[in-house]
Amino acid sequence: MKDFSGKVAVVTGGGAGMGRAMTRQLAEAGCSVAICDISEEDMAVSVAEAIKHAPQSVRVTSFRADVSDETAVNAFAEHVRAAHEIDHVHLLINNAGIGGGGSFVADQRANWERTFNVCWYGVYNNARAFMPMLLAAEEGHIVNVSSVNGFWASLGPETPHTAYSAAKFAVKGFTEALITDLRINAPHIKASVVMPGHIATQIALNTLREFGDNSGVGGAGEEYEAAKARGEQFRDTGLTSAEEAATTILDGVRSEKWRILIGPDAEAIDAAVRLTPEDAYEGAFGMDVFAGVRAAVQG
């Protein structure tokens, strides 16, 4: 898929962050886009930005859907058919995700399963719902956003990170398995797995909006304020911007790359884990890698 002009794309989590950036870049390239998100407010901003500099022929639509809910995702697919008056889509970008549910032992089961369901079943549900429309297109591409935590299941030695990591490992494995499946059964469809490092987005703040302080209190108190400050720091200190990440992803689609690493930190931790996998969860392994990358970038 060298050219997005005249194509139709679906972007989950299209209201903010990388999803918003990809929506805007696709629209400006002449691609009509259907986005879903749980935030009507975020989607309104995303749609307005996308159509601002897009060709007049481009249509950008939004639909409120929780990607972990199969019924809602199927309704989203029907919306795409009706709103865009089509029976096919060319590009499915499974981007929606949240954090949370870090400890399998200590955190609430509901929080753990919410994170896993959004990050994994969001990909699965949309792949199921839109596969008939991808099959109906003359060419197609599925982009599944995993993470560096799809090959390194850690945030460092002091922080459990089980739900998100388990889901992102599943996304990576599913996408890699699709390569052979599609080659045999739908050779006009390609698949790519995206593994971003620290991208300057609001995912940590959106997770806080979802779970509060992760103990059920939510919205008030010292723990909540501390979590909010960490979320703002994450947003403001990313090594790669959402715009840069979106460009890398869409360039990867154009060049049919099945494996897309985003950011120098993603490249560094990938190389480190491959070099010494037995050490990956010992001491400050990953933190040392990230610190070295940040020092090199800033220095």
Asked whether residue 195 is assigned to any structural domain, the reply reads yes
Confidence at residue 178, expressed as pLDDT on a 0 to 100 scale: 98
* From 121, 164, 224, 281, the catalytic residue: 164
- Residue 28: its H or E element: helix 17-28
Does residue 98 register a pLDDT over 70? yes
Give per-residue pLDDT as tens, 175-194.
Answer: 999 999 999 999 999 999 99
- Mean pLDDT value of segment 90-97: 98
With respect to residue 1, please indicate whether it lies within any of the assigned structural domains: no
222, part of any domain = yes
Number of domains in the chain: 1
The pLDDT of residue 229 is 82
Question: Is 182 among the domain residues?
Answer: yes
Question: Given this model, what pLDDT does residue 204 score?
Answer: 80
Query: Does this model's pTM top 0.75?
Result: yes
Residue 246 lies in a domain: yes
Asked whether residue 50 carries a pLDDT value surpassing 60, the answer given is yes
Q: Check residue 217 and give its pLDDT.
A: 39
Decide if 51 is inside a domain.
yes
Neighbours of 262 (CB within 10 A): 26
Read off the CATH number of the domain in which 181 is found: 3.40.50.720
In angstroms, the Cα distances linking 86 to 5, 170, 205, 243 are 16, 31, 36, 29
CA 196 vs CA 105, 130, 267: distances in Å: 27, 24, 9
Q: Examine residue 115 and state whether it is found in any structural domain, yes or no.
A: yes
Which is more confidently placed, 292 or 80? 80
Q: What is the pLDDT of residue 176?
A: 98
Structural domain for 258, as ranges: 8-298
Q: Is the pLDDT of residue 215 over 60?
A: no
Whether 109 maps to a domain, the answer reads yes
How many angstroms from the chain centroid is the CA of residue 227? Answer: 22
d(CA 202, CA 22): 15
Cα–Cα distances in angstroms (integers) from residue 284 to residues 155, 272, 288, 290, in the given order = 10, 12, 6, 10
In the residue annotation, 164 being an active-site residue is answered as yes
